[in-house]
């Protein structure tokens, strides 16, 4: 036996160092459990893991105000922020469980057990949860507890300065550190594995990239000359897919294999219909530009985008099913259980409401609903634009409620006429003289009639309005204002083609969309 190895190990000096090691033990134990749980979920229940279930539950219980705040703070990185926040919270509780377990046997284990129960409750609350997903959080907790208990036992032995009953006679310190390091390594490996198990997404991405969409029977009307003003600083008239805003409650983008995808039309219909992806692509498809917007878009905000969508008119699909008298709503449902309630009339009138498969000449990106979603001109996304859609239930507003309705949002959500100043960009001073103002205005399905600007609440001055691609899209506008040095407040107001101006009174985004004039302060330098 080597004397060096059996030399008594110095006990971790002082309570602080001991607590530090106990915290590390807690984090490594719980982290390993969580990672193993994610791997298990990835294999057994791809759409629900303990982490996505808890995160989804957090999203579901936060009041609309907090959701708006999170979106305004983190923008489309709100999910990364949520996952990061969860990781910090879990690490904090895990460290605490280590310290508690060191102080008192089973005290830390109890904290982890609570984790497990919270996880099970969260999984039970997910619409997409399969039975196999339910016990996974308990597995996570059991593994975390087992690891924590043996790590803490070794830490105690080190503290006591004993070499215990270890037949190798390795010092207690080394046995603790070896187990801590070994477990952390397993967790790291598991994290890599969890990422690969997510390869399902990679497979569907590959299928998507090889998919060739049919040419539309009815192509999109040409973009009129001059619709794009080309003013520096106004976003492009058609938003590229990669820049298109993304809003949904899905922590992990649903991965839907088009081969297995089915859309059912159910409820108050003469004939239930089931459609697979090949059958959908074989329908006479049309292509249209439609500007969609989020109800959470603040005045002047960027949760709005314009794309060329390829799809089958929902009107034709519903005509095949034959809605029964008395029906007034279509509850659309996605693979992850999210729902939107759309007035039946809007889906059966002459507008181009689409069961869309293409976006700007490509299959829908996974984030934007691959393989199929709804696009309805004139309605906010939360009451119409269901991504990863798998069911249309013809029903009545009196009988069914959609996802956001009980959470403080209006059951009906027509888009409010609005306008935005994109240039000059806020905060940057501009040179005196003719100052170029420009932006966009929208009144989906009615169309924009005029856009005006006013300076320091003076008279409204009419801007040059570019032709819209259609009444369902936004319009660009511009106006040069002669300004001398000083500070100005500039406001924009759009009026729709029925002559109705946008609402001046400021109202918040909840419950049915913001109103008010976009107002910017412009610093003019000599
Ligand atoms: N399945 C599903 N579809 C959804 C949502 C969702 O949370 N889940 N959010 C809706 C909302 S609120 C909006 S504004 C639009 C946004 O569509 P986009 O992400 O393609 O821009 O999708 C709608 N469709
Ligand atoms: Mo939205």
- Ligand 1: which residues within 6 Å by Cβ? 244-250, 294, 334, 336, 338, 368, 381-382, 385-388
In the numeric block, the tokens 């809605």 are attached to 323
What the block records as the tokens of 274 is 């089931």
Identify the segments of the chain with pLDDT beneath 70.
1-13, 46-47, 76, 128, 162-170, 198-199, 202
Return d(Cα 136, Cα 142) in angstroms, integer: 10
* Torsion sign, CA atoms 70, 74, 76, 81: negative
Which residues have C-beta within 8 Å of that of residue 482, sequence separation ≥ 6? 433, 434, 435
Return d(Cα 295, Cα 414) in angstroms, integer: 9
Domains and CATH numbers, the chain: 16-197 (no CATH), 241-407 (3.90.420.10), 418-525 (2.60.40.650)
Ligand 1 midpoint to CA 67 (Å): 14
The pLDDT value given to residue 1: 39
The dihedral formed by the CA atoms of 65, 379, 371 and 244, expressed in degrees to the nearest 10: -60
Phi/psi region, residue 456 (left: phi>0; alpha: psi -120 to 50; beta: rest), is left
Report the residue among 385, 405, 410 best suited for mutation to probe ligand 1: largest number of ligand atoms under 8 A from its CB: 385
Ligand 2 midpoint to CA 482 (Å): 38
**If you write DSSP's letter for every residue of 352-393 in order, what string do you get?**
--EEEEEETTEEPPGGGTTT-EEE-TTB-GGGT--SSEEEEE
Contact (Cβ atoms closer than 8 angstroms) between residue 357 and residue 388: no
Contact (Cβ atoms closer than 8 angstroms) between residue 94 and residue 147: no
Ligand 1 midpoint to CA 424 (Å): 30
In the numeric block, the tokens 């000096």 are attached to 13
The pLDDT value given to residue 6: 45
Cis (ω within 30 of 0) for the bond into 424?
Answer: yes
Ligand 2 midpoint to CA 407 (Å): 13
Q: Which of 207, 309, 305 is nearest to 255 (CA)?
A: 207
**If you write DSSP's letter for every residue of 296-342 in order, what string do you get?**
TPPTT---EEEEEEEEEEHHHHHHHH-BPTT--EEEEEETTS-EEEE
Q: Which of 136, 252, 139, 147 is nearest to 195 (CA)?
A: 252
Distances (CA, A) of 331 to 198, 213, 340, 387, 487: 30, 27, 6, 13, 50
Ligand 1 midpoint to CA 497 (Å): 28
Report the residue among 263, 384, 387, 391 best suited for mutation to probe ligand 1: largest number of ligand atoms under 8 A from its CB: 387
**If you write DSSP's letter for every residue of 3-66 in order, what string do you get?**
HHHHSPPPPPPHHHHHHHHHHHHHHHHHHHHHHHHHHHHHHH-TT--HHHHHHHHHHHHS-HHH
Q: Which of 217, 347, 359, 207 is nearest to 282 (CA)?
A: 217
Return d(Cα 118, Cα 53) in angstroms, integer: 10
Ligand 2 midpoint to CA 445 (Å): 18
- Ligand 1 atom nearest to CA at 305: 21
What is the number of alpha carbons within 13 Å of residue 413 lying toward its C-beta?
Answer: 31
Q: Which of 374, 296, 298, 305 is nearest to 338 (CA)?
A: 374
**If you write DSSP's letter for every residue of 442-477 in order, what string do you get?**
E-TTT-EEEEEEEETT---EEPEEPPPSSTTS-EEE
What the block records as the tokens of 282 is 């074989």
The pLDDT value given to residue 5: 44
- Ligand 1 atom nearest to CA at 295: 14
Which residues have C-beta within 8 Å of that of residue 121, sequence separation ≥ 6? 57
Cis (ω within 30 of 0) for the bond into 437?
Answer: no
Q: pLDDT per residue over 374-417, tens digit each?
A: 999 999 999 999 999 999 999 999 999 999 999 999 999 999 99
* 489: helix, strand or coil: strand
Which residue minimizes the CA distance to atom 1 of ligand 1? 387
Which residue minimizes the CA distance to atom 24 of ligand 1? 386
Neighbours of 257 (CB within 10 A): 14
Pair type for strands 262-267 and 389-395: parallel
Distances (CA, A) of 516 to 169, 267, 494: 76, 39, 11
Distances (CA, A) of 490 to 230, 328, 452: 21, 42, 10
pTM score, two decimals? 0.80
The pLDDT value given to residue 225: 95
């Amino acid at each position: 036996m080597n004397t060096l190895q059996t030399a008594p190990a110095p006990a971790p000096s002082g309570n602080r160092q001991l607590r530090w090691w106990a915290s590390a033990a807690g984090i490594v134990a719980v982290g390993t459990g969580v990672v193993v749980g994610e791997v298990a979920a990835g294999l057994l229940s791809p759409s629900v893991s303990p982490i996505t279930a808890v995160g989804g539950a957090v999203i579901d219980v936060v009041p609309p105000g907090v959701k708006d705040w999170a979106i305004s703070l983190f923008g489309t990185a709100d999910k990364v922020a949520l996952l990061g926040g969860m990781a910090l919270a879990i690490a904090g509780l895990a460290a605490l469980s280590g310290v508690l377990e060191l102080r008192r046997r089973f005290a830390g284990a109890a904290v982890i057990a609570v984790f497990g129960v919270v996880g099970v409750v969260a999984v039970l609350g997910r619409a997409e949860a399969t039975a196999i997903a339910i016990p996974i959080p308990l597995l996570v907790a059991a593994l975390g507890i087992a690891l924590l208990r043996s790590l803490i036992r070794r830490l105690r032995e080190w503290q006591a300065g004993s070499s215990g009953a270890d037949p190798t006679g390795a010092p207690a310190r080394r046995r603790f550190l070896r187990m801590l390091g070994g477990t952390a390594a397993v967790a790291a490996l598991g994290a890599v594995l969890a990422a690969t198990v997510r390869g399902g997404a990679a497979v569907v991405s590959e299928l998507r990239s090889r998919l060739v969409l049919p040419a539309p029977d009815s192509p999109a009307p040409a973009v009129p000359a001059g619709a794009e003003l080309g003013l520096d600083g106004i976003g492009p008239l058609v938003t590229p897919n990669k820049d298109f805003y993304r809003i949904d409650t899905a922590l992990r983008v649903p991965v839907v294999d088009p081969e297995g995808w089915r859309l059912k039309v159910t409820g108050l219909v003469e004939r239930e219909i089931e459609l697979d992806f090949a059958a959908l692509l074989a329908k006479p498809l049309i292509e249209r530009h439609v500007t969609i917007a989020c109800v959470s878009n603040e005045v002047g905000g960027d949760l709005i985008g314009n794309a060329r969508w390829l799809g089958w008119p929902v009107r034709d699909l519903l005509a095949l099913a034959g809605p029964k008298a008395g029906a007034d709503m279509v509850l659309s449902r996605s693979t992850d259980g999210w729902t939107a309630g759309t007035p039946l009339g809007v889906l059966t009138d002459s507008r181009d409401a689409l069961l869309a498969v293409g976006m700007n000449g490509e299959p829908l990106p996974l984030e934007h609903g691959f393989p199929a979603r709804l696009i309805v001109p004139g309605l906010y996304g939360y009451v119409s634009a269901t991504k990863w859609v798998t069911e249309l239930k013809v029903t009545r507003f009196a009988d069914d409620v959609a996802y956001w309705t009980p959470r403080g949002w209006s059951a009906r959500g027509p888009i409010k006429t609005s306008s935005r100043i994109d240039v000059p960009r806020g905060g940057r001073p501009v040179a005196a003289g003719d100052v170029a103002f420009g932006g966009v205005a929208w009144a989906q399905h009615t169309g924009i009639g005029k856009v005006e600007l006013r300076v320091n609440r003076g008279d409204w001055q009419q801007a040059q309005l570019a032709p819209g691609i259609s009444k369902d899209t936004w319009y660009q506008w511009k106006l040069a204002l002669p300004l001398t040095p000083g500070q100005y407040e500039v406001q924009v107001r759009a009026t729709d083609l029925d002559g109705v101006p946008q609402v001046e009174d400021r109202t918040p985004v909840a419950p049915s969309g913001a109103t008010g004039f976009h107002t910017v302060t412009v610093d003019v330098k000599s």
